[in-house]
């Protein structure tokens, strides 16, 4: 049995008006979005600093609460 069987429905030719409208919209897809140069990405180092401080504080507090067994 073949893996793909085409449908019996008749096919129509593509609409020329729709094709020309799509071709006319093509330049809009190529240009840069408005205000693309004014967007400033926030710096990532403050987020990294906050993450490191919070992770370290969590580990230190966890070691004070659950100190573990002392070895002699």
What does the H/E/C string look like for the chain? Answer: CCCCCCCCCCCCCCCHHHHHHHHHHHHHHHCCCCCCCCCCCCCCHHHHHHHHHHHHHHHHHHHHHCCCCCCC
Q: Which pTM was predicted?
A: 0.38
pLDDT in tens, 20-69: 887 888 777 777 666 666 666 777 888 999 999 999 999 999 888 888 88
Tell me, what's the pLDDT at 37? 63
pLDDT band at 19 (very low <50, low <70, confident <90, very high): confident
Check pLDDT > 70 for residue 14.
no
Domain residue ranges of the chain, discontinuous segments joined by +: 43-67
Comparing 17 with 29, the larger pLDDT belongs to 17
């Amino acid at each position: 049995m073949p893996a793909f069987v085409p449908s019996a429905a008749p096919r129509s030719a593509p609409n020329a008006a729709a094709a020309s409208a799509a071709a006319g919209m093509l330049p809009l897809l190529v240009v840069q979005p408005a205000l693309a140069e004014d967007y400033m990405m926030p710096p990532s180092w403050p987020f990294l600093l906050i993450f490191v401080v919070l992770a370290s504080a969590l580990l230190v507090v966890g070691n004070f609460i659950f100190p573990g067994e002392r070895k002699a």
